[in-house]
Structure 1
Amino acid sequence: MELKSYQKEALRALEDFLHRVGAYEKDLPNFLDQAFREVAARYMENPPPYLEPKGLEGIPYVCFRIPTGGGKTLLAAHALAPARRFLGQDAPMVVWLTPTEAIRTQTLKALKDTRHPYRQALEQALGQVRVMDLQEALALPPGDVGAVALVMVATLQAFRVEETEGRKVYEENGHLMGVFDLLAGSVPEDKLAPPEGIGRYSLANLLRIMRPIVVVDEAHNARTPLSFDTLARLEPGVILEFTATPREDSNVLFAATAHELHREGMIKLPIELVVLKDQEAVLQATMAKQKELEALAQRGREYLRPIVLIQAEPRRGGDPYTWEKVRAFLLERGVREEEVVVSVGERDDLTGQDLLSPSSPVRYVITVDKLKEGWDCPFAYVLASVRPLKSPTAIEQVLGRVLRMPGARPKEQEALNKAYAFTVSENFWEAAETLREALVLEGFERYEAERAVRTVGLGLEERIHLEASPSPLALAPLGPKVEYDPKVRVLVIKEPLNPSERAVLRQALAEKDRQKLPHTVRTPSEEGRVLEVPLLAWHGEPLEVEHFLEEGWSLAGRDAHLDFVPQPLGERGEIGLDGGRVRIARLERLDQAGRLFGSHVGWTLDSLALWLDRHIPHPDLPQEETLPFIYRALGELLGRGFTLEDLVAEKRQLRNLLEAKIRGHREAAQKEAFQRLLKDTPPNLGTITLRLEGDYFPPNPYRGAYDFQKHFFPVIADLQDGTEEFQCARLLDGLEEVEFWVRNYPTWRHAFRLPYPGGNFFPDFLARLRDGTLLVLEYKGKHLAHTPETYEKEAVGQLWAQKTGNLFLMVRTLDGLNAIYQAVRR
């Protein structure tokens, strides 16, 4: 199964983080914080400091925030590849922890099925692999350990010593004695001895020695002090969390947005909400919507049968609208009995049902609170609740079931790319706000949740539920166009506002309410206009950094000296009595795991060179280039008096050093090629057109008070009032010569980019002038105004301007803003 772009970006973030950890861990006492902040800064403003839970100091421990429906399990399987490379283990152990028994059973089944995409991702990441439950792990045959990658799937509760099953993990286990006999030849006795509370021949001790990769699924359900204690006992090498709703103290390295999932066809958005006065009206409207969607689905090429999830009232006092009443209503109106299933209490008609099969007749699923955990059906399109939506937690689990997109790809009929909700309520705005709160529980950012729920049937008035009441005096200039009811905190915009009135309203609202303000003036993108921007191209495709070296490059003649310092196992724990002690101890444990099972027995110089070549990524260099370089590096080390056994025992360190060396030579070659490109402008360099339209969903939208008038999209990415970039944006917005402009941001699918030796460069602003000329603008503050990187970016920007006949401007400090006037009024 092909990874989506945000999943690929998450893996790049992990790879980069672990590479930086390996590069910094010997020299920086705060190496994890440094690596984390450098990578996280690409995806968020001012990333928080890296937090090290007690007992897990020095262990790479990061979280990936993926909203519901985003493919967390597939991403987790692929993430094992960079983790394995970081640990330098050919056949690592993986502990895969799930929040519940139902999810454990579902995950174990998928990972064991060789036809399932999850299992195929596992094999791609780890090579030969054996997947097992905890009972199988307790009887692990010696021949498997170190020969194949081992993935143990369990609940976190199963590793808690207080639980019956957990005690078995920590107790002496005669089945594992053969494994420890094998270890005895490779691991010093003091390393085999377990800490207090763990049996010598126990599974926990084996994991502790092997430094497992730990995957925590839906970690917010598991992360408590007790959970950290449990994880610390396993002494993992790397911990990876995957969740929709991380806690504030998570080390979130990468966060996907709901709109990224929607753009990739993973989830349905927006959710159209209809609120009606009584239960039967809700059911009648729901039935009509199901028939409408099914008719549309039949026009498409793929099989799709839209399903309705109905939440009935629980059997409590009064006269509740129970599941029996819902079912009777549907049958009385012509729905066939086999089209309705019930999942309430002990009754679960879903068991054994394959709802995606064309032979399944099911169109309605009735529940009360929750559907069984692990149940998933992308055919679910409509959520109907015959009870008022008052609690987001009561609706959250069922709402998540209607968000997933069938086939994880957009549909031809636009109506089939949306989800639908029908509910009964006297208070429409309370229902809408409850739905939005439930989306936040599903991993949406609040601003995304605000835009994801679209209310239907409200006429021309715009109604907004505010979190803070505005001053009557501040609203007074808007006269009869705007009304506010302080009792329910609802603002009603009765007539369209002109730009100055809109600015007054924005000033009157609290910052957290401004993002809810509807757009009364349609932006160019909302009018269906497209901004076309030329990109630099190489042989008809976008120019990338990799193209700089398309003609090839060589390691021949380049320096192969490595700063190699072996530290024998057993001595490293004594190095340093200061704050660096924990770091050195962690390195010792990692190397210990990499040296197991006679890892330096039977090795030759050739087998070591081949191992290193296989574990160093070099897609741009053939083995004919890399192997001679590796032999030169190894030969130089042998010439300095190191033995082959020294080199094999430290092959993880050697791999890191060689990878860094080759990366450095690659960057140098790219800089050389970049200078040739600027100087010679080869004939293969051309342009192609990038169309900027549609899906502009920035992760950090502007929420300030200034009312921009000329931005191409209704929201603006990553601006804060008063900043230097804000001053640039305001100047562009106010220039008569500017027709419209766009705030460019790196994670946008259509982001404008220019390659330079350091990677891709994403200029801050694009503007179209009224004469049709494009202006690309990059702002650099004083601290970055004259760095080598800034000059490289400026050079490729001027190359773009020369090739396309447009304007590129590098503005250095606010004093340079006059250059913008001069450029547009040339």
Structure 2
Amino acid sequence: LYDTMTKRVEGSDETGLIQVLSYLNPVVIIDESHNFEADLRVDMLKAINPCFILDLTATPRKKSNIISFVDAMKLKRANMVKLPVIVYNHRSTSDVITSAINLQRSLEQKAIALEADGGRYIRPIVLFQAQPKTADDNITFDKIKKQLTDIGIPEEQIKIKTASKDEIKNTDLLSRDCPVRYIITVNALKEGWDCPFAYILASLANKSSRVDVEQILGRVLRLPYTTKHRDDLLNLSYVFTSSDDFRATIENIIDSLNRAGFSKKDYRVAEAVPAEAQPQPGSTLGLFDNPEEQTEQSDAPTTGKTDDLPEIDSEAIKEAISNPMPRTTSELETFARQESENYDKQMEVAAKHDDGIPNDLKDMVDQYPIKEFFREEAAKIVLPIFVKRVNQGSIFEEEGAYVQLEKSMLNEGFDLDKQDHNVDFTRADVEAVRVDLAKVGNDEYRPERFNLSTKQLAVIKEHFISLPPEAKKEQLAAAIAKNIRFDEIAEPQIARYIKDAIKDFDSEQIADLYTYEPQTTAAIRNKIGELLGKHQKEVFKKWLDTGQIKCEPRYKLPETMTLRTISKGLSKGLYTEEGDMNDWEYKVINAVAALENVLFWHRNPERGVGFGISGYINHYPDFIVRLKSGMTVLLETKGDQLDNSDSRNKVELGTTWANKAGEQYRYFMVFEKQQMEGAITVGELLERLKEM
């Protein structure tokens, strides 16, 4: 098919790999996609000609279309991360080293005690982040390593990991036999380096230097064994600095958390303050305080010299670490435990009000709460849904219990092989077409339909005509089956169904179906959909009759709604703003809201967001109306041109729901003039509502 290719990759041979990939129009998945922004990489991506790109990243670009987002609270609840981050600013680099060594030893003692009591093995590790002196990093790092050994740390416990020197290569840092407790680095520990035992990030930067922890802060966030440990201090991570410009340090840490997928809500500050301003015992700096208010701003430059090692008082450190539990470490641990408890309480509150939107994105979306004067009445509404009895228990479900009915449950007993194989392949449009994206602006494209060229059709027919009759049927059935997806039916079964449906077709008929494959595929997909829908409807009715399905009150209205577009000028909406609607829907609900006995109404969202009547179809009525009498009415509004089988299924299912839900519930489908069985006009609706 090389001759039919309409898009050529510049500089590529027509049989080159990049040209073949481009022709296949593949799905592309990019891991760590924030690193995929270089011009050469973008050019390569364009040459591949992807039909869809899925980025996986903790730091999506501003123009990204975010389809899934996991925030810190969810990660914390899943025991995947050590949060919050405890940040402590010391007076000197020596204090940073002292605190890091003492806290490491304290955490290790706690880990040993927990393991003796049935816990898992943990050996906390400190990451010492230094500044490089020259292009030859080893000079600086080797000297720091020597200073640490001079303090009394065994050499085998200290390793260097830089771009030019890697002493932890091929080392299993999680092994019980590994002695490593201290790793000296700058920014060499980036994506891909995984050590859940890393607990403490200690910056050895000069006091006048801005602390840059962006690249490696994420390396201390992973929780060992994805298990919450009984001692809270082993569920947190720690950052120690000695910066004159602590505000800049905190801002940098916030940026680092953001780039790692977290936020300013996920750290706590415990700063060492000047002696004359020492807090009273037991007091701590406030949570979420503005760092600008916590710290006097220094005139020191944000970047300092890197040609000298940071000043380290080895003798003072030796003396400090000889104390088994120095006061500073004790105070830090007390602070950390309190902040861990506070963070857990925040998680509990967030879990109770989980609306599906990650905390870090809530400020980026428009949310509208229930109006205060409707809140009490709205809380009384618990809409019934269809539930299915569990006939055979499992580890997930108890026998005899009722679970929410899913449409897929109604597939029970469906066998495509035994269904009607008579498919109507009559085409309303005899042209074969392709649909592609056409450029309409600098970065703007829209789907457009293109007629296949005579040459392309000729190539397809020439190839197909050369096959023997049975091979033609096999190939056609297999090709179409790949483009038809029903979660309930396996692809090979669909292929068998297609082959049986065309078994009596001659070669010319088969070639015709192949030439116009999109129409052929649509005909078969529609036929199978009709057969499956008919079966699901029959099973639903049977289960209703036998008591397998019933209605139970389970759905509560959410406290807030997230809306992209809103409707204005309507009274009695339940939320401070209600969702957008078309002119006909606006006209109907405006008339309903004008009725004296209507308390409030709500524009019910679709697609799994709002209240759905789930049966043999998934039906989301347009409006939920609450009357002053306590009755709840579901409304589905239809333009007169929408009188079709879908509408008939909706009105039938909605009426069934109302009958099973109870006396306090009603369902109406409303047309302007034209009627269908079970539906009414807007005039009739208003008359009935007045009498309720």
- TM-score class, shorter: 0.5 to 0.7
Which residue in the other structure is 1:382 paired with?
Answer: 200
1-structure distance, mates of 2:228, 2:129? 27
For residue 643 of structure 1, the aligned residue among 509, 516, 521 is 509
Which residue in the other structure is 1:273 paired with?
Answer: 87
Q: Structure 1 residues 782 and 205, CA, compared in 2 at 3 Å: closer, same or farther?
A: closer
1-structure distance, mates of 2:94, 2:608? 44
Q: Is the 8 A contact 1:393 1:438 kept in 2?
A: no
Task: Give runs of aligned pairs for residues 27-106 of structure 1, distance below 5 A.
Answer: none
Q: Structure 1 residues 451 and 407, CA, compared in 2 at 3 Å: closer, same or farther?
A: same
Q: Is the 8 A contact 2:27 2:51 kept in 1?
A: yes
Q: Does 1:538 align with 2:404?
A: no
Q: Does 1:682 align with 2:547?
A: yes
SS of aligned partner of 1:223: coil
Q: Does 1:462 align with 2:266?
A: no
For residue 362 of structure 1, the aligned residue among 162, 180, 184 is 180
Instruction: Tell me by how many angstroms 1:341 deviates.
Output: 0.9
Moved more, 420-429 or 641-650: 641-650
Task: Kindly provide the amino acid, as one letter, of the partner of residue 605 in structure 1.
Answer: K
Q: Structure 1 residues 232 and 259, CA, compared in 2 at 3 Å: closer, same or farther?
A: same
Q: Does 1:289 align with 2:103?
A: yes
Q: Is the 8 A contact 1:777 1:811 kept in 2?
A: no
Instruction: Tell me by how many angstroms 1:234 deviates.
Output: 3.2
User: What are the Cα deviations for residues 235-258 of structure 1, in whole angstroms up to 9, with x where unaligned?
Assistant: 344433333323233344433334
User: What are the Cα deviations for residues 804-823 of structure 1, in whole angstroms up to 9, with x where unaligned?
Assistant: x9x999999xxxxxxxxxxx
Which residue in the other structure is 1:561 paired with?
Answer: 424
SS of aligned partner of 1:397: coil
Task: Kindly provide the amino acid, as one letter, of the partner of residue 277 in structure 1.
Answer: R
Instruction: Tell me by how many angstroms 1:342 deviates.
Output: 0.9
SS of aligned partner of 1:281: helix
2-structure distance, mates of 1:357, 1:753? 52
Task: Kindly provide the amino acid, as one letter, of the partner of residue 389 in structure 2.
Answer: W
Q: Structure 1 residues 575 and 266, CA, compared in 2 at 3 Å: closer, same or farther?
A: closer
Q: Does 1:552 align with 2:413?
A: yes
Q: Does 1:630 align with 2:492?
A: no
User: What are the Cα deviations for residues 769-795 of structure 1, in whole angstroms up to 9, with x where unaligned?
Assistant: xxxxxx9999999999x9979989988
SS of aligned partner of 1:347: coil
Q: Structure 1 residues 783 and 584, CA, compared in 2 at 3 Å: closer, same or farther?
A: closer
Q: Structure 1 residues 791 and 487, CA, compared in 2 at 3 Å: closer, same or farther?
A: farther
Which residue in the other structure is 1:246 paired with?
Answer: 60
Task: Kindly provide the amino acid, as one letter, of the partner of residue 424 in structure 2.
Answer: H
Task: Give runs of aligned pairs for residues 566-715 of structure 1, distance below 5 A.
Answer: 583-584=448-449, 601=467, 603-606=471-474, 608-609=476-477, 612-613=480-481, 616-621=484-489, 626=494, 629-631=497-499, 633-634=501-502, 638=505, 643-647=509-513, 654=520, 658-659=524-525, 661-663=527-529, 665-667=531-533, 669-670=535-536, 673-674=539-540, 680=545, 682-683=547-548
Q: Structure 1 residues 793 and 527, CA, compared in 2 at 3 Å: closer, same or farther?
A: same
Which residue in the other structure is 1:259 paired with?
Answer: 73
SS of aligned partner of 2:215: helix
Q: Structure 1 residues 780 and 311, CA, compared in 2 at 3 Å: closer, same or farther?
A: farther
- Could you state the TM-score of these two structures normalised by the residue count of structure 1? 0.48
User: What are the Cα deviations for residues 402-436 of structure 1, in whole angstroms up to 9, with x where unaligned?
Assistant: 22344556556554443332222356554333212
1-structure distance, mates of 2:155, 2:623? 59
SS of aligned partner of 2:176: coil
Consecutive unaligned residues of structure 2, counting only runs of 5 or more, are: 272-278, 298-340, 355-381, 391-400, 578-603, 625-629, 670-692
Instruction: Tell me by how many angstroms 1:466 deviates.
Output: 5.6
1-structure distance, mates of 2:230, 2:146? 35
Instruction: Tell me by how many angstroms 1:339 deviates.
Output: 1.7
Which residue in the other structure is 1:115 paired with?
Answer: none
User: What are the Cα deviations for residues 304-333 of structure 1, in whole angstroms up to 9, with x where unaligned?
Assistant: 4332222123438xxxx9645653454355
Q: Structure 1 residues 246 and 519, CA, compared in 2 at 3 Å: closer, same or farther?
A: same
SS of aligned partner of 1:310: strand
User: What are the Cα deviations for residues 620-658 of structure 1, in whole angstroms up to 9, with x where unaligned?
Assistant: 34789756643465459x48x853345456667755664
Moved more, 574-583 or 370-379: 574-583
Instruction: Tell me by how many angstroms 1:277 deviates.
Output: 2.4
Q: Structure 1 residues 762 and 407, CA, compared in 2 at 3 Å: closer, same or farther?
A: farther
Q: Structure 1 residues 229 and 466, CA, compared in 2 at 3 Å: closer, same or farther?
A: same
SS of aligned partner of 1:383: strand
Q: Structure 1 residues 623 and 443, CA, compared in 2 at 3 Å: closer, same or farther?
A: closer
2-structure distance, mates of 1:608, 1:360? 60
2-structure distance, mates of 1:251, 1:228? 17
SS of aligned partner of 1:395: coil
Q: Structure 1 residues 365 and 635, CA, compared in 2 at 3 Å: closer, same or farther?
A: same
Q: Structure 1 residues 203 and 371, CA, compared in 2 at 3 Å: closer, same or farther?
A: same
Q: Is the 8 A contact 2:210 2:245 kept in 1?
A: no
SS of aligned partner of 2:56: strand
Task: Give runs of aligned pairs for residues 175-186 of structure 1, distance below 5 A.
Answer: none
User: What are the Cα deviations for residues 660-713 of structure 1, in whole angstroms up to 9, with x where unaligned?
Assistant: 653465456545655666x547257698999x9xxxxx9xxxxxxxxxxxx8xx
The count of corresponding residues between Structure 1 and Structure 2 is 516
2-structure distance, mates of 1:647, 1:427? 73
Q: Is the 8 A contact 2:203 2:211 kept in 1?
A: no
SS of aligned partner of 1:374: coil
2-structure distance, mates of 1:381, 1:288? 13
Q: Is the 8 A contact 2:88 2:240 kept in 1?
A: yes
For residue 47 of structure 2, the aligned residue among 233, 240, 245 is 233
2-structure distance, mates of 1:347, 1:200? 45
1-structure distance, mates of 2:56, 2:350? 39
SS of aligned partner of 1:348: coil
Q: Is the 8 A contact 2:156 2:179 kept in 1?
A: yes
Task: Kindly provide the amino acid, as one letter, of the partner of residue 376 in structure 1.
Answer: D
Task: Kindly provide the amino acid, as one letter, of the partner of residue 185 in structure 2.
Answer: T
Which residue in the other structure is 2:684 paired with?
Answer: none
For residue 170 of structure 2, the aligned residue among 321, 327, 352 is 352
1-structure distance, mates of 2:494, 2:269? 60
Q: Structure 1 residues 575 and 530, CA, compared in 2 at 3 Å: closer, same or farther?
A: closer
SS of aligned partner of 1:239: strand
2-structure distance, mates of 1:613, 1:190? 24
Q: Is the 8 A contact 2:268 2:287 kept in 1?
A: no
2-structure distance, mates of 1:748, 1:283? 53
Which residue in the other structure is 2:249 paired with?
Answer: 431
Q: Does 1:421 align with 2:239?
A: yes
Which residue in the other structure is 1:133 paired with?
Answer: none
Instruction: Tell me by how many angstroms 1:559 deviates.
Output: 7.1
SS of aligned partner of 1:315: coil
Q: Is the 8 A contact 1:400 1:442 kept in 2?
A: yes
Q: Does 1:315 align with 2:133?
A: yes
Larger radius of gyration: 2
For residue 453 of structure 1, the aligned residue among 235, 260, 267 is 267
Q: Is the 8 A contact 1:311 1:385 kept in 2?
A: yes
Task: Kindly provide the amino acid, as one letter, of the partner of residue 643 in structure 1.
Answer: Q
1-structure distance, mates of 2:251, 2:342? 19
2-structure distance, mates of 1:596, 1:334? 82
Which residue in the other structure is 2:30 paired with?
Answer: 216
